[in-house]
Each structure stands twice: as C-alpha cells, then as structure tokens.
Amino acid sequence: MNEKSKTIVPKLRFCQFKDKPEWNVYKLGELSVPIKKRAGSNKYMLMSVTSGIGLVPQIEKFGREIAGNAYKHYYVIKKNDFAYNKSATKLFPEGYISMLTDYEEAALPNSIFTCFRITAKQCDPGFFNQLFQNNYHGAWLRKYIEAGSRAHGALSVNPKHLWNMPVALPEPAEQLRIADCLAVLDDLIIAEEKKLSALKDYKKGFMQKLFPAEGTNVPEWRFPEFRHDIDWKSVTLSELANFRRGSFPQPYGLDKWYDEKKGMPFIQVFDVGDNMKVKEDTKNKISELAKKQSVFIPAGTVIVTIQGSIGRVAITQFDAYIDRTLLLFEKFYIDIDKRFIAYSLQLLFEAEKKRAPGGTIKTITKEVLSSFRIALPQINEQQKIADFFCSAEELLSAQTKKIEALKQYKKGLMQGLFPSIEEVSR
C-alpha cells in the first residue's frame, strides 16, 4: 500500500486508539486483487448467497446443487475471500458482499458474482466484512447503477467502480478491535435468534398437542381441570359464523381513494402480521370517498387473508376498513373466544398448505371455506387455551423486540466506528 495524504477520523474510537494516527484513505483496488480462478473439473462446495446472512451451500438453500453445465466456469474462492453478489434485494438494493468463513474453499456462479481477495498485509478481512455488512459499498455503487439496469437478472455494475471505492483504514490493531467487537454482537444476535426459533418451535409443538389432530375431536393434551369434560364439538365454518369479503373501489391506485393525512386505516394482505395482529401503521389510509365503497370493521374483528399470502389470521386492534383480499367474521353463532378461533383458523390453514401442491395454497373461495371444519371445546376451555397461547405470543414479541434492539444498537455503533462513504470520498 502506498501512503496516502488524505486522512480521516471516525466519530467513535476505542479508548486505546484515541491518540493513534488518523485513518488513511485508499481505493479498494489498492488493497485487493480480483479472483478469476475457475472450478473446471475440480470438485468444490457450491455456494449461493442469502442477502444479509452470507454465503451458504446451494444444497442448503435450494435442496440441491444447481450449477449444471455452468459449473466449470464457477469462480473458486478461499476462506476470507469476498464475493460481491450483483443481485438486488430489499435490504441491499445495490447488491451484497459476503466473506467466505465456514469453508477453506468454495465455488460460486461467475454470472452474478465479482470475487476479490484482500492482499494488503496491513488489512484484517474481518474489518472489511463488517464494513460491507453495513452496506458501505451500496452507498458508493448506487450512483453508478442505472435504475432497472440488469443483465441476466444481475445488476449492471462495472467492476472498476468497485475497485475505485475509497476505504478509510486504521492501523491493524484498531481494525482487529473493531472487527472483534462487532463479531461479538453478531454472535449475541445469532444466539437470540436461535432462542426465538426455539420459542416458535415450542409454540408449534404445544398447538399440535392442545388442539385435536385432524379427524379427531379430542386433543392429546388437556389442562387438568378439563380432562374429564366432554369431547370437542366439530362444526363447519358456515355453522360457526357469518363471514364475508371486504371491498374496495376499483381500479386500485387512483389518488382519490386515499388520504394519508386524515384517512382511516385500510387493511390489505401485507398489513397482516405473523403475530395474530395487524401492523400498527397500515400501508394505506382510505379517503372519505372510498369509504362509501369499502367495508368497515371495528377493533376486535377476526380476519383471514384469502389472496396472495393465504391463511394469515389476525384480530384487529383498531377500527379500520378492509380490502376484498381478506375475509372478516361478522357474527358468531356459537359462544366462542375470538382468540381461540384465530388459533384454530391458523392451524386449519397450515393443514391445508401441507395438502396443497408445493405447500402453497394458490387460491381459496368463501364457498370452499364454508365447508372447512374446526373443533370447539366449552368456552372456559377455549379461554384457558387462548390465554396460554397469548402468553406465548408475548414471549415471542418480547424476544423479537430484543433482537431488533440489538440490531439497531449494532447499526448505530457501526455508523460511529466507520466513517461514511460521504466522509471518505470528500
């Protein structure tokens, strides 16, 4: 590396480095070399990428290796090498850079990856890995990518822009300190995400035990006070309640149907979360004109999505209007706990998805739903089961918020520890 005259100081520095030299600025191309080695006939672990996570074996992501005849052209990278995936995602619209960490060597598609190796002796690969996780490269490359510019599904990015990206670099010891600190946070986030996954599995297991299996009217487990009660009663949804679709004036998208400042919440499929609730702030709000042609629902209404992501269930937390892509339960004919019904519907749709080709329900109608059956215990047992699963939902919600808080903390820390591309490129 040639010493540069331009230097910079980040907003945050660890105490032991406050009196150390300022960071020098280099181009990425001065610190690295492109990788062009091809797989040929040699055998390597074939990799793909999951944006925000990193390089993963193709067999884990797709259930099989998908290289086919293109395998011989795959790039071969070694541990601590980097691969820039030129496919855009929501979190990384300018593409994602991953570091190979779990394998000594691997191969990945040459069609959508640009690969490089950090070669400068004063560089710690872990420092660069954290820098790229913060989408530092995206902030630089976005000005060189034309909107909608793609070639064979990949963004059209000239590698020269990547190599010209300016990078501020501290001394090796400070690089290592930063990388180690952020890696500890990564490990903590991963551990908390595993805990969240375990909680979800526990909830799923309890649902399978506390609700009757398909074709039966008695669950495998019952709370002690209900073990000698009568069997659950099987009813069709049409016997259980009166339900209907929502509505919205056509065509969608006209400005006159929406009022983001004074309008009422308008619930569509993507507003239904996976926690039995509607998202707190719906994507759209409905205007006075559109209200006349839509359907109003009060807080506490049970709703189910029937288009797109079919089978998502929620109990609304606020008054709203509802789209035609959802069903609303207007009136129940039987004494029920709405929370219990919501969980029963969730299980019902999960069972239907298992029967559907590819595990996805393509479409469903009110008529088909009318014949679906669910089993009901007496109201006090419904309430006991609903209370149990609501407590589980609170645990899941608290754990999800904990993970999000850790991610936000790391994001804020990275913004202080790394100078921004705007600061570096001035």
Q: What is the pLDDT of residues 273-290, one digit of tens each?
A: 888 899 989 999 999 999
Helix (H) or strand (E) holding 171: none
Whole-number percent of the chain with pLDDT over 90: 73
The predicted pLDDT at position 407 comes to 95
Q: Is 350 exposed, middle or buried (0-12, 13-18, 19+ CB in 10 A)?
A: middle
Q: Find the mean pLDDT for residues 178-190.
A: 96
The predicted pLDDT at position 309 comes to 85
User: CB–CB of 288/243 below 8 Å?
Assistant: no
The CA distance from 379 to 39, in Å, is 64
C-alpha distance across the termini of the chain, in Å: 21
| Gyration radius from the chain CA atoms | 27
| 63 conformational bin, left if phi > 0, alpha if psi -120 to 50, beta if neither | left
Which ranges constitute the DSSP H helices of 215-285?
Answer: 237-240
The predicted pLDDT at position 146 comes to 67
Q: Which residue has the tokens 């903390």?
A: 409
Region of poorest pLDDT, from 110-114, 265-269, 409-413: 110-114
Tell me the DSSP string of 104-118: SEEEE-TTTEEEEEE
Question: Among 92, 95, 169, 184, which residue's Cα sits nearest to residue 127?
Answer: 169
Torsion (CA) 400, 406, 410, 411 in degrees, nearest 10:
40
pLDDT tens, position by position, 294-303: 999 999 999 9
Residue 153 has pLDDT above 80, yes or no: no
Structure tokens, 133:
């996780």
Residue 148 has pLDDT above 70, yes or no: no
Going by their DSSP bridges, the two strands 295-297 and 166-169 should be labelled as unpaired
Residue 339 has pLDDT above 90, yes or no: yes
Structure tokens, 402:
């904990």
The predicted pLDDT at position 378 comes to 95
1 band by pLDDT with thresholds 50, 70 and 90: very low
The predicted pLDDT at position 38 comes to 94
3 band by pLDDT with thresholds 50, 70 and 90: very low
pLDDT tens, position by position, 237-267: 999 999 999 999 888 889 999 999 899 999 9
Q: Is 36 exposed, middle or buried (0-12, 13-18, 19+ CB in 10 A)?
A: exposed
Q: Find the mean pLDDT for residues 93-98.
A: 93
pLDDT tens, position by position, 194-228: 999 999 999 999 999 999 988 888 999 999 999 99
User: CB–CB of 130/178 below 8 Å?
Assistant: yes
Q: Find the mean pLDDT for residues 176-202.
A: 96
Helix (H) or strand (E) holding 127: helix 125-133
Name residue 292's beta-bridge partners.
Answer: none
Structure tokens, 76:
């071969």
Three-state DSSP at 368 gives helix
